[in-house]
Amino acid sequence: MERTLHGFIPLVRFYHISSDDFLDKIYPLKKLLPKDLAKDLVKFYIAPNRKPNIVEIQPPRISKPICDYDSILIKNHHFAVFASWIDKKNNLHYNVRNISYNFNLLYRASKDGNTPATFHAKCDNKGPTIVIVKISNSEKIVGGYNPLSWNTSNSGSSTNDSFIYLFTDGIDTKSAKVSHSNGDQNSVKNLDGYGPGFGRGTDLIGWSDGGRWYSNSTNSYPKIDGIPTGHFYVDDYEVFQVIKK
């Protein structure tokens, strides 16, 4: 065993191990360590302020930082779910430390102005985006992912990579439901006088007056139970640019 462990010993950050772990897990194996190292470690844990004699102290391993996304509607872990859906994986494929995308806030209705014109001014021609909508008098969050760019062409675009979604409980990501496009020619809907649009009919769209959204179709996306039918009011909505890391 000593020969097997020999090559790994320089990689171990002995001086960042707690005294309890050293006593319980390292000290019983001291015969496997180089004699000078074993002696030096004992001295260090007896007198931790004394500088070790022979072993270079490696810096502690630093956990990958968690990005803090600029949303007032959802939390960081929701973005991990979005990244999983974008890559067509299950909800838990990514976590907050290994998200494969950056999400940059382009637009917040309550801050920038809740009008279709402002949405288009802030979000058109910016590439893929995720839309996040908080339904009034409810804990529900709805929205969609556009893998293309928004524009004011008054036309639809076909894609199999877009989706709409629902969190029945905005705090709990376990309540998430997602529906990917069937490739319909109106998977993404670009209308000059409206906000973000998804689907023919329409499956989900920001209405022309800004304060309402509308959903009344399953032409482009399989039905998600829980999304209101017809017009519904929203407290706020955000649009984030999605950039592959």
Q: Which amino acid is at 88?
A: K
State the pLDDT at residue 57: 45
Rg (CA), the chain: 26
Secondary structure of the chain in the HEC alphabet? CHHHHHCCHHHCCHHHCCHHHHHHHHHHHHHHCCHHHHHHHHHHHHCCCCCCCCCCCCCCCCCCCCCCCCCCCCCHHHHHHHHHHHCCCCCCCCCCCCCCEEEEEEEEHHHHCCCHHHHHHHHECCCCEEEEEEECCCCCEEEEEECCCECCCCEEECCCCCEEEEECCCCCHHHEEEEECCCCCCCEEECCCCCCEECCCCCEEECCCCCEEEECCCCCCCCCCCCCCEEEEEEEEEEEEEEEC
State the pLDDT at residue 179: 97
State the pLDDT at residue 13: 60
State the pLDDT at residue 97: 86
State the pLDDT at residue 232: 97
Query: Do 128 and 226 fall into the same domain?
Result: yes
Query: Do 157 and 222 fall into the same domain?
Result: yes
- Cα–Cα distances (Å) from 55 to 12, 50, 212, in that order, read 11, 13, 66
**Structural contact between residues 221 and 203, judged by C-beta atoms closer than 8 angstroms:** yes
Q: Which amino acid is at 154?
A: N
Is 63 part of a structural domain of the chain? Answer: no
Query: Do 136 and 94 fall into the same domain?
Result: yes
Give me the average pLDDT of each 10-residue run along the chain (245 residues). Answer: 51 62 72 72 65 51 65 94 96 89 97 97 98 97 98 97 96 93 96 96 91 92 95 97 96
**Structural contact between residues 84 and 91, judged by C-beta atoms closer than 8 angstroms:** yes
Query: Do 41 and 109 fall into the same domain?
Result: no
**Structural contact between residues 119 and 107, judged by C-beta atoms closer than 8 angstroms:** yes
Is 62 part of a structural domain of the chain? Answer: no
Is 131 part of a structural domain of the chain? Answer: yes
Query: Do 33 and 81 fall into the same domain?
Result: no
Query: Do 33 and 151 fall into the same domain?
Result: no
State the pLDDT at residue 63: 54
Rounded CA separation 142/9 (Å): 52
Give the range of the structural domain holding residue 144, as residue numbers without chain letter: 76-244
Is 18 part of a structural domain of the chain? Answer: yes
Q: Give the total number of structural domains in the chain.
A: 2
Query: Do 80 and 168 fall into the same domain?
Result: yes
